[in-house]
């Protein structure tokens, strides 16, 4: 009991304000309990797991991490029905002190709609900041369980997993000569909106009372309160994990179809799932239609879910199918995975819309706006067969830029426009440029082979720490490609923030900090720079001015 109490209380000793929180100790204390929760779940000791979860959700350190998460993510400026956001250190400190489970009652969600790719609208439920922090707090206790019991080939909304892992697994199961040739493309109709509340409350390992309150909190739309009888709201921090837990187990259900390993190999059944989108391979169309699909329907029915008749179909691999923005199709020369036509069209449409909205801006601003769009799309697809698609898209982007330039100067000749906006760089003509700025081209992104994550690896298991650190280094190397200073600093700091000693990733973001301030004639040399988390950078300067000295030397 003493060790458990130590884990709970070590971070709270001596706290006086938000910027006085010792984040290193907080992360270490929370990580120790999370590791124990994962170990208990792996052993099937559910009573112990729930006891450790209660301990963690009462921990002041976990509450601090929950508040930090909801005040640093992309939705931190989006208020709920109470119209409140925690934008100051004082508000965060007050929220930390008020974050209590006893007497907790969530407010209704604020309902908004966002457009979907097919022209329809997707409903989002926006919780209040306090409800988001409570969800983040309980997610710290639930996620170790979800990662431990999750299907090995489930890749959506899970730590250290991505769409690239899912598509590599699809290639693995379909890319060999003896691979199955039939695929069931599955899509669940309104997955988040229809999950059975009773099933979640009965089967999810967390505080049942708090979970029931979230599920029954309702939502407000056009000033009216609507009750929720099913589903978990899209927009909630914990909702993706709840949806994953509802769908976990489908892989083992498919395995139970067969009496022997030999039967399973003959049927060639493989499941690859990303959130509510999944594909199941099979040896024949009849087997998928008569054996696999009824099993999936029965599995989903127990959770209040149904397959979408419109999007669920059985396809031969020579016809091809779309999955996660890629088109997978078997040709005579082999299996090709290329960007799907819908995905390419959406990307090019976004480029054109951006250019139309910048008719009168400087070319440097155009480059600044288009660069992250091009870089993000290229990085998403570059691990697959993209050579021809990238070349075609480069030509389409050039045409859009040429029209943009000609529209700006209707009285100038084409040669003048070319000399003004385009230049030859490394033998490549017509590179859009402004002084020392160059717009990247898709063809300039080298293909890399993505190594799929080991399905048995668990981010909460200490024995897998070295494995995940190696993968993070490879991922950040690609993220910082072409940015020499950032990449060098990240490697020099071993990928960690010197303030909180936690990993610096694309998701956490970073701030380039000058050890000797610019106002004090500090240089931009690498020896005077370091990478910090944005919140850690702010904490450093607050402590430097009002409290304990900040970082005095480069680590």
Kindly report, residue by residue over 292-304, the tens digit of the pLDDT.
999 999 999 999 9
**Is the CB of residue 383 less than 8 Å from the CB of residue 450?**
yes
Two structure tokens written together for 464: 């897998």
Write the pLDDT tens digit of every residue in 373-418. 999 999 999 999 999 999 999 999 999 999 999 999 999 999 999 9
CA distance 493 to 472: 13
**Is the CB of residue 110 less than 8 Å from the CB of residue 204?**
no
Q: What is the dihedral of CA 540, 544, 547, 550, to 10 degrees?
A: 50
CA distance 77 to 80: 10
CA distance 339 to 442: 13
Q: Which of 105, 151, 149, 147 is nearest to 128 (CA)?
A: 105
In order, the DSSP letters of 15-68 are --SGGG--HHHHHHHHHHHHHHHHHHHHHT-HHHHHHHHHHHHH-HHHHHHHHH
Give the model's pLDDT for residue 279: 96
Q: What residues are paired with 234 via a beta bridge?
A: 236
Write the pLDDT tens digit of every residue in 267-294. 899 999 999 999 999 999 999 999 999 9
* Contact partners, residue 387, CB within 8 Å, separation at least 6: 447
Q: What residues are paired with 186 via a beta bridge?
A: 278
Length of the chain: 555
| Residue 521's pLDDT band (cuts 50, 70, 90) | low
Q: Which residue has the higher pLDDT, 490 or 196?
A: 196
Write the pLDDT tens digit of every residue in 186-209. 989 888 889 999 999 999 999 999
Average pLDDT, the chain: 88
Q: What percent of the chain has pLDDT over 90?
A: 59
Average pLDDT, integer, range 83-99: 91
Average pLDDT, integer, range 215-230: 88
Average pLDDT, integer, range 490-518: 84
User: Residues 444-453, buried b or exposed e (16+ Cβ, 10 A)?
Assistant: bbeeeebebb
Q: Which of 42, 6, 22, 20 is nearest to 461 (CA)?
A: 42
Q: What residues are paired with 329 via a beta bridge?
A: 336
**Is the CB of residue 404 less than 8 Å from the CB of residue 366?**
yes
Give the model's pLDDT for residue 550: 47
Give the model's pLDDT for residue 530: 86
Two structure tokens written together for 364: 């440097």
Phi, psi of 36, rounded to the nearest 5 degrees: -70, -35
Average pLDDT, integer, range 340-345: 96
Report the DSSP pairing between strands 219-221 and 313-316.
unpaired
Report the DSSP pairing between strands 334-339 and 422-425.
unpaired
Give the model's pLDDT for residue 3: 39
Q: Which of 87, 92, 193, 83 is nearest to 133 (CA)?
A: 92
Q: Which residue has the higher pLDDT, 236 or 319?
A: 319
Going along the chain from its start, the domains and CATH numbers come out as: 1-149 (no CATH), 150-195+230-337 (3.30.70.270), 340-444 (no CATH), 462-545 (3.40.1800)
**Is the CB of residue 228 less than 8 Å from the CB of residue 219?**
yes
Average pLDDT, integer, range 529-546: 80
CA distance 459 to 482: 29
pLDDT surpasses 50 at 7: no
Give the model's pLDDT for residue 341: 96
Q: Cα dihedral sign for 365, 366, 372, 375?
A: negative
Q: How many other CB atoms are there within 10 angstroms of residue 124's CB atom?
A: 19
- CA 211 centroid distance within chain: 23
**Is the CB of residue 183 less than 8 Å from the CB of residue 280?**
yes
Write the pLDDT tens digit of every residue in 414-460. 999 999 999 988 777 889 999 888 999 999 888 889 999 999 999 99
Helix, strand or coil, per DSSP, at residue 75: coil
**Radius of gyration for the chain, computed over Cα atoms and rounded to the nearest angstrom:** 26
Give the model's pLDDT for residue 518: 66
CA distance 33 to 49: 10
Average pLDDT, integer, range 143-169: 94
Longest dimension (CA), the chain: 81
Give the model's pLDDT for residue 519: 63
pLDDT surpasses 50 at 4: no
Query: What H or E segment, with its residue span, contains residue 425?
Result: strand 422-425
Give the model's pLDDT for residue 73: 85
Give the model's pLDDT for residue 12: 45
Report the DSSP pairing between strands 529-532 and 511-514.
antiparallel
| Residue 520's pLDDT band (cuts 50, 70, 90) | low
Two structure tokens written together for 92: 């965060």
| Residue 547's pLDDT band (cuts 50, 70, 90) | low
Average pLDDT, integer, range 320-338: 94
CA distance 45 to 205: 11
Q: Which residue has the tokens 């493989």?
A: 270
Query: What H or E segment, with its residue span, contains residue 183?
Result: strand 182-187
Average pLDDT, integer, range 7-23: 67
| Residue 50's pLDDT band (cuts 50, 70, 90) | very high
């Amino acid at each position: 009991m003493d060790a458990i109490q130590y884990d709970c209380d070590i971070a709270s000793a001596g706290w006086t304000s938000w910027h006085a929180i010792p984040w290193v100790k907080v992360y270490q204390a929370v990580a120790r309990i999370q590791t124990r929760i994962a170990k208990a779940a792996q052993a099937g000791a559910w009573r112990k797991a729930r006891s450790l979860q209660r301990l963690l959700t009462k921990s002041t350190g976990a509450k601090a991490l929950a508040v930090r998460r909801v005040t640093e993510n992309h939705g931190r400026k989006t208020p709920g029905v109470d119209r409140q956001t925690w934008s100051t250190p004082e508000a965060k400190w007050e929220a930390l002190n008020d974050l209590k489970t006893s007497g907790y009652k969530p407010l209704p969600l604020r309902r908004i709609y966002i457009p979907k790719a097919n022209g329809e609208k997707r409903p989002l439920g926006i919780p209040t900041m306090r409800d988001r922090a409570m969800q983040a707090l309980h997610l710290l206790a639930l996620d170790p369980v979800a990662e431990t019991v999750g299907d090995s080939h489930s890749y959506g909304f899970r730590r250290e997993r991505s769409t690239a892992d899912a598509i590599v697994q699809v290639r693995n199961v379909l890319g060999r000569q003896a691979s199955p040739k039939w695929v069931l493309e599955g899509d669940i109709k309104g997955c988040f909106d229809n999950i059975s509340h009773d099933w979640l409350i009965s089967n999810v390992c967390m505080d049942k009372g708090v979970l029931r309150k979230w599920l029954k909190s309702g939502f407000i739309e056009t000033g009216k309160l609507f009750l929720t009888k099913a589903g978990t709201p899209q927009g909630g921090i914990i909702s993706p994990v709840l949806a994953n837990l509802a769908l976990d187990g489908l892989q083992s259900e498919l395995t139970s179809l067969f009496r022997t390993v030999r039967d399973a190999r003959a049927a060639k059944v493989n499941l690859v799932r990303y959130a509510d989108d999944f594909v199941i391979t099979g040896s024949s169309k009849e087997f998928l239609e008569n054996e696999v699909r009824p099993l999936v329907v029965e599995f989903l029915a127990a959770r209040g879910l149904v397959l979408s008749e419109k999007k669920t179909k059985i396809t031969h691999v020579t016809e091809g199918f779309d999955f996660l923005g890629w088109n997978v199709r078997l040709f005579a020369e082999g299996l090709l995975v290329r960007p799907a036509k819908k995905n390419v069209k959406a990307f090019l449409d976004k480029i054109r819309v951006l250019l139309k909205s910048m008719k009168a801006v400087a070319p440097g601003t155009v480059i600044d706006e288009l660069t992250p769009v091009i870089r993000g799309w290229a990085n998403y697809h570059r691990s697959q067969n993209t050579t021809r698609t990238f070349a075609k898209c480069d030509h389409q982007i050039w045409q859009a830029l040429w029209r943009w330039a000609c529209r700006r100067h209707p009285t100038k000749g084409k040669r003048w426009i070319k000399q003004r906006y385009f230049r030859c760089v490394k033998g490549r003509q017509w590179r859009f440029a402004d002084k020392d700025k160059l717009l990247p081209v898709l063809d300039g992104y080298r293909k890399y082979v993505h190594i799929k994550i080991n399905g048995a690896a668990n981010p909460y298991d200490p024995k897998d720490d070295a494995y995940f650190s190696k993968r993070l280094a490879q991922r950040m190397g690609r993220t910082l490609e072409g940015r020499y200073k950032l990449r060098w600093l990240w490697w020099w700091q071993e990928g960690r923030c010197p303030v909180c000693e936690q990993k610096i990733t694309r998701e956490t973001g970073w701030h380039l900090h000058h050890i000797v301030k610019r106002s004090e004639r500090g240089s931009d040399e690498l020896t005077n720079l370091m990478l910090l988390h944005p919140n850690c950078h702010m904490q450093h300067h607050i402590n430097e001015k009002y409290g304990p000295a900040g970082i005095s030397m480069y680590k």
